[in-house]
Structure 1
Amino acid sequence: MRLPFLFAAFCVVASCAPPAQVSKSQPQAEVGVGFGTGSFGLATGGGGGSSLARDFMDLTFAMESGRGLDVFSRFEGPVTVALTGSVPPTAPRDLGALIGRLRAEAGIDISPTNGAATITVEFAERSALRRLAPMAACFVVPNVSTLAEYRRARGSDAVDWAQVTRRTRAAIFIPSDTSPQEIRDCLHEELAQALGPLNDLYRLPDSVFNDDNFHSVLTSFDMTILRATYSPRLASGMTRAEVAARLPSLLGGTGMMGSQTPGAWVQAIETALGRKGAVNARLQSAERALTIARSEGWQDGRLAFSHFAVARLSAGSDPARALTEFDRAAAIYSRLPGGDIHLAHIDMQLAAMALAGGLSNEAMRLADRAIPVVQSHENAALLATLMLIKAEAMERLGDPNAAAALRLDSQGWARYGFGPDSVVKARMRDIAAVADRAANG
């Protein structure tokens, strides 16, 4: 039994989650954001039943805006990466681990350097970056090495990815005043896009090249795409037809073809899970996304994500429906490769609802089920949230010593995932308030 629950649980825990350039979108308000870096084996097929070859083509020959690209481009020869600006203390370690994975799993000749580099990662204050890219958490630009150089060239063909036929230089811009996890996530997505695909596809369930933000570090699917990008059988300047002709020998069988994603669905889902607008208006957008997903006949992550959005936004007015929509999303994600992390996000929401409803045993069960998955997917913010929910449940079940020990264990993950101690303490207070409402309700 999971009812009754309080909508406050959604509000509190949701707050925990966090043009020429290619950008990583701001973390959506309703999706937990994605600690160290792990190592995963190479994928052997495409994601979600779609054609791996088609995924490669759609990722490579278009940009996030939908603008098509005429030719294939990449770096030719060794790639070096340098960190500049106000470099956060965790960045060199995370970059080193990422470069190690790119060498081992994608076969890319890439290494760090302290001098002039092929790819420069510059750290600057978030406010300065938002003036250039208001909707981006971080972004990558071709043919420049510094923020000052980009400001001078902004709006010109020199920094237009569509004009690039061979990549020679690129700069990644990341806020220095954010959590270590967001910095790590930006390094993964933006370095991958500096090296390879410039597009994101919502249909991909097991990839960082998807603006749903469930995956925060490069997956085995992503490494497969990057390995193909740097195959000796491809070269900068090739046309779409030339690349397509070589893909079968690079990627193997094609499987089922995935459908295109209408712009109306993308707009609806991004409005629904953005940070602006009243809840009712955003719920209407989520309903539109779900209607489109059903009319398209999708049975993949886009349909699941539509159910997820409706669940998140209907809790205040119809918590019973929220539970139904979470269950529908979970049923789809359970069938998809990489869907275990999506299920863990849903378990976190349900655990918070259980805690708010006074069902401490259920909250602990859901947290225990999700925690191993979240650890394997390197999401410190989500892991800390689950640990804090479990600690509050322990407290309510009369085990304050175990609760205190678990809160202490969560601190390292929380600092990496959320940032300063002040933010961590605020998160702890928020989750405690959820349980307090159940006790006082």
Structure 2
Amino acid sequence: MRRFVFPILCLMAACVPSTENEVPGRNAPTAMALPPMKTFTTQRGGGVNRPNSQIAQDFLDLTFQMESGRQLPWLTRFEGPIKVAVTGQAPASLEGDLARLLARLRSEAGIDISRARSGETAQIIVEAIPRKTLQKAVPQAACFVVPNVSGWSEFKRNRGNGKTDWTRLSNRTKATVIIPNDVSPQEVRDCLHEEISQALGPLNDLYRLPDSIFNDDNFHTILTGFDMLILRAYYSPQLKNGMTRGQAARALPGLLSRLNPRGNRTTNVGANRTPKQWNDAITSALAIRTSQSQRASQAAKAVQIAQSQGWKDNRLAFSLFVQGRVSLASKPETAISAFVQSGNIYRQLYGASVHSAHVNTQMAAFALSSGKLDVAIRLTDESIPAARNSSNAALLATLMMIKAEALQAAGRGEEARRVRLDSLGWGRYGFGSERNVRARLNEIKALAPRRVRS
């Protein structure tokens, strides 16, 4: 229901030797002028490769339960055309990204949704407010969606009185998406994708989903082909407002067979439920305000639970990824081992995917800081296409920045300059302000071994 703050990278400074005399030189700001911002004018949803029997279970678990574990008694959705309005002080990038999202929802999910004209009543309102104001109301949330209100002020007046309780809805007539207006263009876009899709349809997130934005691992930042299939099924004539879980379960096999013929195959693999203890451990491990030792303990617990469950899927890989993140500063050897295991699982499952790209970013940073320049270049080259195909500018820019520093350290200065310049254009979309872009660039510049840096 709300998108959590989840940084692209770990504390990469932990990879840098902490010798006091070296720090000022390593943090020297770059003088390169920033190029114009790059944007993704087209977005790829990707295909859906899982059997329909699994997708049906995913649909039911996404639709009839909330992230908190509370059950939803029936399916609710909007009826008729859906209009979207924007209020507040919206950033300039919002209009283009919203237009592209609505176009995809119409063409890929078959939903009758469009921008509200002046004077038209909107069913979904997107209100842009300062991030501090948003997080004062909902700490640690990057953005969120609430039903039955028309804007931030009405949400504050009715919060906690039952009006905004999703479990009490019998249908959907209006919803408000609250997004920050002072973050990067990518974060605004990501919030639009997740929160508008949840305003329209499923309210749950499932860590077991490898190919969905409905997953709190935040590896996918825009709606995928799976997500569009779920939304197309959600608004199909075969499903109706007020259907129970049992009624939807009976309708789904025929519906998915028609919408996704390639999924008409049998499988012996069922939808393995995720224990609450694992979810709690992952949440605690990612909690920024929790102590480092507690986060490390909870990450190790998540790995242990995943292994005891016999998982070989993305949940085990993500457990190891989180363990790598939280171990960077205190136990780098543990972090490297966890990242290697995580990357191996992701590659075996999904090939050169965005999942592997996130792991490779960490490993490339380690390779750069230890002077293994060829390894850093290879890892970034492997992952740049996946970052680009997933429309993740922050990840793409970070990979390119690491590659540029490795090229520079290897004496390939002209190649480094071109790659770095390209990275800055994507960085403006992924990180936002010039200050943020330069901070990330200098953070990565600090990783390059001093003896080989030009």
* Residue in 1 that maps onto 2:6: 27
* Residue in 2 that maps onto 1:421: 434
Q: Deviations over 1:302-327 (max 9, x none)?
A: 11111112222334444343333222
Letter in 2 for 1:148: S
* Residue in 1 that maps onto 2:29: none
* Residue in 1 that maps onto 2:172: 167
Q: Deviations over 1:146-178 (max 9, x none)?
A: 111111111122111111111110110000010
- After superposition, the CA RMSD in angstroms is 2.0
Q: Do residues 205 (structure 1) and 210 (structure 2) align?
A: yes
* Residue in 1 that maps onto 2:15: none
Which of 112, 115, 120 aligns to 2:115? It is 112
Q: Do 2:352 and 2:383's aligned partners in 1 also have CA atoms closer than 8 Å?
A: no
Q: Do 1:206 and 1:338's aligned partners in 2 also have CA atoms closer than 8 Å?
A: no
| Counterparts of 1:335 and 1:357, CA distance in 2 | 27
| Counterparts of 1:243 and 1:339, CA distance in 2 | 35
Q: Do 1:31 and 1:213's aligned partners in 2 also have CA atoms closer than 8 Å?
A: no
* Residue in 1 that maps onto 2:238: 233
Q: Do 1:205 and 1:336's aligned partners in 2 also have CA atoms closer than 8 Å?
A: no
* Residue in 2 that maps onto 1:410: 423
Q: Do residues 292 (structure 1) and 305 (structure 2) align?
A: yes
* Residue in 2 that maps onto 1:190: 195
* Residue in 2 that maps onto 1:71: 74
Which of 74, 80, 93 aligns to 2:96? It is 93
Letter in 2 for 1:82: A
* Residue in 2 that maps onto 1:62: 65
Which of 392, 396, 410 aligns to 2:409? It is 396
- Once the two structures are TM-superposed, the CA of residue 29 in structure 1 deviates from its matched residue by 7.0
Q: Do residues 270 (structure 1) and 283 (structure 2) align?
A: yes
Gap change, CA 1:114 and 1:233, over 3 Å in 2? same
Secondary structure of 1:43's aligned partner: coil
Q: Do 2:9 and 2:362's aligned partners in 1 also have CA atoms closer than 8 Å?
A: no
| Counterparts of 2:125 and 2:290, CA distance in 1 | 36
Secondary structure of 2:114's aligned partner: strand
Gap change, CA 1:58 and 1:212, over 3 Å in 2? same
Q: Do 1:208 and 1:222's aligned partners in 2 also have CA atoms closer than 8 Å?
A: yes
- Once the two structures are TM-superposed, the CA of residue 437 in structure 1 deviates from its matched residue by 5.1
Structure 1: where are the runs of 5+ without partners?
A: 1-21
Q: Do 1:196 and 1:229's aligned partners in 2 also have CA atoms closer than 8 Å?
A: yes
Secondary structure of 2:83's aligned partner: strand
Secondary structure of 2:353's aligned partner: helix
Gap change, CA 1:399 and 1:177, over 3 Å in 2? same
Give runs of aligned pairs for residues 7-406 of structure 1, distance below 5 A: 22-28=1-7, 35-36=39-40, 37-43=42-48, 45-46=50-51, 51-115=54-118, 116-252=121-257, 253=264, 255=267, 256-337=269-350, 340-406=353-419
Q: Do 1:340 and 1:373's aligned partners in 2 also have CA atoms closer than 8 Å?
A: yes
- Once the two structures are TM-superposed, the CA of residue 426 in structure 1 deviates from its matched residue by 1.0
Q: Do 1:311 and 1:326's aligned partners in 2 also have CA atoms closer than 8 Å?
A: yes
- Once the two structures are TM-superposed, the CA of residue 43 in structure 1 deviates from its matched residue by 2.3
Letter in 2 for 1:101: R
Letter in 1 for 2:68: S
* Residue in 1 that maps onto 2:18: none
Q: Do 2:44 and 2:390's aligned partners in 1 also have CA atoms closer than 8 Å?
A: no
Q: Do 1:205 and 1:338's aligned partners in 2 also have CA atoms closer than 8 Å?
A: no
TM-score normalised over the length of structure 2: 0.87
Letter in 1 for 2:273: Q
- Once the two structures are TM-superposed, the CA of residue 430 in structure 1 deviates from its matched residue by 0.8
| Counterparts of 2:359 and 2:450, CA distance in 1 | 21
| Counterparts of 1:373 and 1:105, CA distance in 2 | 21
Q: 325-334 or 335-344, which moves further after superposition? A: 335-344
Secondary structure of 1:410's aligned partner: helix
Q: Deviations over 1:161-209 (max 9, x none)?
A: 1111111101100000100000000000001100000000011011010
Q: 429-438 or 284-293, which moves further after superposition? A: 429-438
| Counterparts of 2:288 and 2:274, CA distance in 1 | 22
Q: Do residues 431 (structure 1) and 444 (structure 2) align?
A: yes
Segments of 4+ in structure 1 off by > 6 A? none
Aligned positions, number: 415
Secondary structure of 1:434's aligned partner: coil
- Once the two structures are TM-superposed, the CA of residue 336 in structure 1 deviates from its matched residue by 3.1
Q: Do 2:373 and 2:410's aligned partners in 1 also have CA atoms closer than 8 Å?
A: yes
Q: 326-335 or 180-189, which moves further after superposition? A: 326-335
- Once the two structures are TM-superposed, the CA of residue 31 in structure 1 deviates from its matched residue by 6.4
| Counterparts of 1:357 and 1:415, CA distance in 2 | 28
Q: Do 2:428 and 2:434's aligned partners in 1 also have CA atoms closer than 8 Å?
A: yes
Letter in 1 for 2:93: T
Letter in 2 for 1:357: S
Secondary structure of 1:409's aligned partner: helix
- Once the two structures are TM-superposed, the CA of residue 135 in structure 1 deviates from its matched residue by 2.2
Q: Do 2:143 and 2:177's aligned partners in 1 also have CA atoms closer than 8 Å?
A: yes
* Residue in 1 that maps onto 2:261: none
Gap change, CA 1:367 and 1:167, over 3 Å in 2? same
Q: Do 2:373 and 2:409's aligned partners in 1 also have CA atoms closer than 8 Å?
A: yes
Percent identity among equivalent residues? 49
- Once the two structures are TM-superposed, the CA of residue 276 in structure 1 deviates from its matched residue by 2.1
- Once the two structures are TM-superposed, the CA of residue 241 in structure 1 deviates from its matched residue by 1.2
| Counterparts of 2:410 and 2:193, CA distance in 1 | 40
Q: Deviations over 1:111-150 (max 9, x none)?
A: 1124431101000111111122112110001111111111
Q: 301-310 or 254-263, which moves further after superposition? A: 254-263
Letter in 2 for 1:213: N
